[in-house]
């Protein structure tokens, strides 16, 4: 079993839809949770980050962490074609020296 599981998709939605991206994990020591966006042939860029459980909102993006279920989500409201990219969840723990473990990434296509 992988430490971090993420459905690779692809996920195709119409413009304006609400997108839900999810990851599950097995290591209960993870404390730091991140979402990265990666455009084709580019390095990932940090989109959202949260510490421990809870929600965090930034514009059209909301990140949720449920540590009891070992489940994290990223919601994108009013999705735009420019949101088309691969979204990778990532997580780390201080006990692991902040070694970051990535999910496989979900490819998202937002159709105009």
Verify binding: residue 109, another protein, rule CB under 8 A.
no
Verify binding: residue 65, another protein, rule CB under 8 A.
no
Quick one: which of 61, 106, 108 has its CA closest to 88?
Answer: 106
**Tally of CA atoms within 13 A in the half-sphere of 95 that contains its CB:** 5
Nearer to another protein, 79 or 92 (CB): 92
Hey, what are 55's tokens?
């929600």
Choices 11-19, 55-63, 71-79, 95-103 (CB under 8 A): range interacting with another protein: 95-103
Verify binding: residue 75, another protein, rule CB under 8 A.
no
Nearer to another protein, 72 or 105 (CB): 105
3-state SS assignment for residue 96: helix
Residue 47 in contact with residue 35, Cβ under 8 Å? yes
Choices 14-22, 66-74, 76-84, 102-110 (CB under 8 A): range interacting with another protein: 102-110
Verify binding: residue 59, another protein, rule CB under 8 A.
no
Tell me the closest approach of the beta carbon of residue 79 to another protein, in angstroms.
Answer: 21
3-state SS assignment for residue 77: coil
3-state SS assignment for residue 30: coil
């Amino acid at each position: 079993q992988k430490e971090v599981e993420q459905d690779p998709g692809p996920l195709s939605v119409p413009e304006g839809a609400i997108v839900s991206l999810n990851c599950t994990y097995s290591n209960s020591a993870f404390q730091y949770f991140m979402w990265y966006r990666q455009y084709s042939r580019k390095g990932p860029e940090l989109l959202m980050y949260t510490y421990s459980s809870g929600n965090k909102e930034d514009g059209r993006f909301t990140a949720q962490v449920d540590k009891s279920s070992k489940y994290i989500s990223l919601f994108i409201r009013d999705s735009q074609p420019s949101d088309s990219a691969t979204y990778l969840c990532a997580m780390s723990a201080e006990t692991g020296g902040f070694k970051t473990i990535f999910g496989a990434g979900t490819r998202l296509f937002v159709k105009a």
